Amino acid sequence: MLQGKKFILGISGGIAAYKCAQLTRLLVKEGAEVQVIMTKLAKQFITPLTMATLSKRPILVEFFDPENGAWNSHVDSGLWADAMIVAPATANTMGKMANGIADNLLITTYLSARCPVFVAPTMDLDMYQHPSTQRNMDTLRSYGNHLIEPNAGELASGLIGKGRMAEPEEIVSQLKEFFVRREKQDLTGKNILVTAGPTHEKIDPVRFIGNYSSGKMGYALAEELASRGARVTLVSGPAQIKTCHPNIERIDVVSAEEMSYESRSRFSQMNAAIMCAAVADYTPLVKANEKIKRKEDELSVKLKATTDIAASLGKDKSDKQVLVGFALETQDAMANAQKKLEKKNLDFIVLNSLKDEGAGFNSDTNKITIINKHNKVKEFALKSKTDVAVDVVDELVECFFNIGG
């Protein structure tokens, strides 16, 4: 699986740097190419000679070779690699990665890399738990980086707790899993509808009723589905996000009514629909043609209910179609999500609670619980919306498998 893959291994200065010798050996044994970049401090923990011998390439530390001035291009390295692994990632290095402090070759390469980045933190348990470290890790997740959780156990300090860098075998297995997933086209031939973003309900020519949805989750889903071979119809409310995958057909709408029309009229041709949009439940009964002028102290705008798009697709759904909903709750999250699952005839519902920090609208991360129609509950950790999309799409694939689709 890793045969011919090109990796940049960025080693920062932590005692776990010794594990990079084994990590490099394993990668090379799999047929991968490894370019090692070390920080100056990392050289104190493991010698450049060891790493150069195992990787079969000179290691890089400086921006240029002081002997002859040859430039070590971080841009070229960043473009060359299929993935970058930062291991061990110290608190200092993660802080720099999270904040763009580009004072060494490892960080400039990270900032230039277009490939997926895996980060394997290592540090003492108190440093690991410190809010600044946790915040930096959340930021890195929100950039779409893949955090490889450290293990708990005896640390170099003698303290016991979480902070041991994942073992080389675990890192290699996560890399394999990533590439297997990326390269398998398990949704080829499937047509999938995704609704995303908010809707805007016109009050008058200059005002609307809207919500804080950014569309990020729905767009991440569309990208993940498309990259796994599905033909995606993305019905999107107003959102400032670009889509570039050729498998995505994007239909821009503004109101709940338009979203409903575009979704319902296409549903019969779909194998699945994921209802990720934050659709307005009410719209003004009358949309004023002229700007409403300020008059009395109070103003009432009469609203009428919009179509519940998910519920209407749930009514039309055949046994061979999969319908997925989202629920954003602020109270009684589980009970409310279960009610929506039943009422809308969904195959599963993705619950995010606004009580969870880092979850919900506008953030780059999300923390979800998936409840399926058999009431099986799966809880997931806080992840980037890109990684959450992988979990949701995996669940969808399982549904197709269960219905023989």
Minimum separation from the CB atom of position 353 to ligand CTP (A): 11
Contacts (CB under 6 A) with ligand CTP, residues 202-241: none
Question: What's the rounded Cα separation, in Å, for the pair 13 and 8?
Answer: 16
Residues, the chain = 405
Nearer to ligand CTP among residue 12 and residue 306 (C-beta): 306
Nearer to ligand CTP, 232 or 256 (CB): 256
In degrees and rounded to multiples of 5, residue 246 shows phi and psi of: -65, -20
Is residue 33 part of the contact set for ligand CTP (CB under 6 A)?
Answer: no
Q: Does 306 bind ligand CTP (CB under 6 A)?
A: yes
Shortest Cβ distance from residue 148 to ligand CTP (Å)? 32
When asked if residue 309 is in the footprint of ligand CTP (CB under 6 A), the reply is yes
Interacting span for ligand CTP (CB under 6 A) from 31-39, 123-131, 273-281, 286-294: 273-281
The answer to the question of residue 328 lying near ligand CTP (CB under 6 A) is yes
Closer residue to ligand CTP in complex, CB, 108/353: 353
CA end-to-end distance (rounded Å), the chain: 27
Q: How many residues bind ligand CTP (CB under 6 A)?
A: 15
Neighbouring C-alpha atoms within 13 Å toward the C-beta of 129: 6
Q: Which CA distances in Å does 171 have to 53, 263, 279, 314, 334? A: 21, 41, 40, 41, 34
Residue from 45, 128, 219, 326 in contact with ligand CTP (CB under 6 A): 326
CB of 337 to ligand CTP, least distance (A): 8
Of 13 and 325, the one with the shorter C-beta distance to ligand CTP is: 325
Radius of gyration of the chain (CA): 24
**359 makes contact with ligand CTP (CB under 6 A):** no
Task: Indicate which single residue of 124, 201, 308, 391 sits in contact with ligand CTP (rule: CB under 6 A).
Answer: 308
Among 9, 20, 221, 327, binds ligand CTP (CB under 6 A): 327
Candidates 21-29, 50-58, 75-83, 302-310 — which segment interacts with ligand CTP by CB under 6 A? 302-310
Stretch that binds ligand CTP, among 3-11, 39-47, 152-160, 271-279 (CB under 6 A): 271-279
Only segment of 36-44, 240-248, 307-315, 367-375 that touches ligand CTP (CB under 6 A) = 307-315
Contact pattern for ligand CTP over residues 140 through 169, marking x by CB under 6 A: ------------------------------
Q: By CB under 6 A, tell whether 347 contacts ligand CTP.
A: no
Residues 277-296 interacting with ligand CTP (rule: CB under 6 A): 277, 279, 281
- The residues pairing with 250 across neighbouring beta strands, listed in sequence order, are 234
Catalytic amino acids?
211
Closest approach of ligand CTP to the CB of residue 93, in Å: 39
The answer to whether 42 contacts ligand CTP (rule: CB under 6 A) is: no
- Site of interaction with ligand CTP (CB under 6 A): 195, 256, 275, 277, 279, 281, 306, 308-310, 325-328, 340
